[in-house]
Chains A and B, each alone.
Chain A
């Protein structure tokens, strides 16, 4: 049930993300990070696949770019969290890595980057919001959670 709610949450974050400007923080990525920090590897990878598929339908010509990036992000975070999760800077590290991977993939394979100012503002906001989103979503979805 918790996993289903996590997927619904990712979908809602996608709907918000699809209706705002590129200057906004990457809400889908943040949601995926929090899910991946708590779920097992295959659930994290599938959550990334679902989120990537959702983002890919907004630009069908480059379908697969977000899917690969977010699947790799979900799986990677689920693998790496066992090493770094207890560290305070782990969330920042994972967010920065995920952002770098996403922008690199979009620049190389996808529809291109949104422009340097928007990219910088969106990345900074995503990094700043990461601890808050983690706190909120952990309390909302993973209260009393035991590592998967």
Chain B
């Protein structure tokens, strides 16, 4: 008795829903879209949430990778700086004086063995003073006049400079190979030199302070019969084309054996010295 009535009610309700659905089809598009907006926001919220979480997870993973790489790089850099600071501080810091000088003459045979610069003893230049360019070591003053000085470049056959490998800290002696390059004497056979290594002055002796950039290792040929490692170096300073140099001197009253240290592997600052000699 009751079942047919319930079934009939359900049929009517179901048909009513279908008719309402059909009526929805004739509603203007604009109204349909307006009505669908809140429903869309609600029903698709889990998908949006999962997409946002997935996106942020991907970004976090990429950021994590980037920061991990950065941490490794900074760790290596920190270790390198710690190592450099332990080895570089050999003595009390001394304020070195830089004197700028123009190149006014050259060796007419090779253009590389010596230079004449436009500063002399009246400008405070003394024989033995190291001469550098913004790129690296250039040579040393070997004779002074009142207004001019003669500079022996690092490519002169008589030149010898005590150097050290910036990376492996292996010391050696650099000399010219008479072809515009430097070779290292007395580099131990099992020493660690690789192409690309930077070589700086070792600070041994009284001419060059420690840490001046000298050149880059270009080749380390394998010669088993040699007693020492034959390392070739390309100087940073192009002495055949240099037009202006800097003479390094100690301040008035400073002793030459105070262990002056140059900040390793750094170029000299840009300084401008007036052309008038000191005291005039």
Interface residues of A (CB under 8 A from B): 11, 14-15, 18-19, 40-42, 44-46, 49, 52-54, 56-58, 60-61, 63-65, 67-68, 71-72, 75, 109
Residues of B36-67 at the interface with A, using a CB-CB cut-off of 8 Å, are 36-37, 39-40, 43-44, 46-47
Write out the residue numbers on chain A whose beta carbons fall within 8 Å of the beta carbon of B18. 45, 68, 71-72, 75
| A15 lies within 8 A of B14 (CB) | no
Interface residues of B (CB under 8 A from A): 7, 9-11, 13-15, 17-18, 21-22, 24-25, 27, 29, 32-33, 35-37, 39-40, 43-44, 46-47
Write out the residue numbers on chain A whose beta carbons fall within 8 Å of the beta carbon of B24. 63-64, 67-68
| A63 lies within 8 A of B32 (CB) | yes
Cα distance A46–B18 in the bound complex, in angstroms: 10
Closest B residue to A61 by CB, please name it: B29
10 contacts between A and B (CB under 8 A): A19-B47, A42-B9, A42-B14, A57-B40, A61-B29, A64-B21, A64-B32, A68-B24, A71-B18, A75-B15
| A65 lies within 8 A of B14 (CB) | no
Write out the residue numbers on chain A whose beta carbons fall within 8 Å of the beta carbon of B21. 49, 52, 64, 67-68, 71
A42 in contact with B27 given A18-B44, A57-B43, A68-B18 (CB within 8 Å):
no
Residue of B25, B27, B36, B37 near A109 (CB, 8 A) is: B25
CB distance from A108 to the nearest CB of B (A): 11
A-B contacts counted at CB < 8 A amount to 74
| B25 lies within 8 A of A68 (CB) | yes
Cα distance A75–B20 in the bound complex, in angstroms: 14
CB distance from A19 to the nearest CB of B (A): 6
| B13 lies within 8 A of A57 (CB) | no
| A56 lies within 8 A of B7 (CB) | no
Cα distance A45–B37 in the bound complex, in angstroms: 24
Write out the residue numbers on chain A whose beta carbons fall within 8 Å of the beta carbon of B35. 63
Write out the residue numbers on chain A whose beta carbons fall within 8 Å of the beta carbon of B13. 42, 45
| B11 lies within 8 A of A57 (CB) | no
Write out the residue numbers on chain A whose beta carbons fall within 8 Å of the beta carbon of B40. 57-58, 60
CB distance from B95 to the nearest CB of A (A): 70
Closest A residue to B36 by CB, please name it: A60
Cα distance A131–B37 in the bound complex, in angstroms: 36
Closest A residue to B38 by CB, please name it: A57
Cα distance A68–B15 in the bound complex, in angstroms: 10
| B10 lies within 8 A of A46 (CB) | no
| B32 lies within 8 A of A60 (CB) | yes
A41 in contact with B10 given A67-B24, A68-B22, A68-B25 (CB within 8 Å):
yes
Known A60-B33, A67-B24; further 6 A-B contacts with Cβ < 8 A = A15-B47, A41-B14, A45-B17, A64-B27, A71-B17, A75-B18
CB distance from B30 to the nearest CB of A (A): 10
A54 in contact with B43 given A46-B17, A64-B32 (CB within 8 Å):
yes
Cα distance A56–B43 in the bound complex, in angstroms: 11
Write out the residue numbers on chain B whose beta carbons fall within 8 Å of the beta carbon of A53. 39, 43
CB distance from B87 to the nearest CB of A (A): 60
Query: Considering the complex of A and B, which 6 residue pairs feature the smallest CB-CB distances, nearest first?
Result: A60-B36, A64-B24, A45-B14, A68-B21, A42-B10, A41-B10
CB distance from B196 to the nearest CB of A (A): 52
A41 in contact with B27 given A18-B44, A60-B36, A63-B35 (CB within 8 Å):
no
Write out the residue numbers on chain B whose beta carbons fall within 8 Å of the beta carbon of A57. 36, 39-40, 43-44
A41 in contact with B46 given A53-B39, A60-B32, A61-B33 (CB within 8 Å):
no
Write out the residue numbers on chain B whose beta carbons fall within 8 Å of the beta carbon of A49. 17, 21
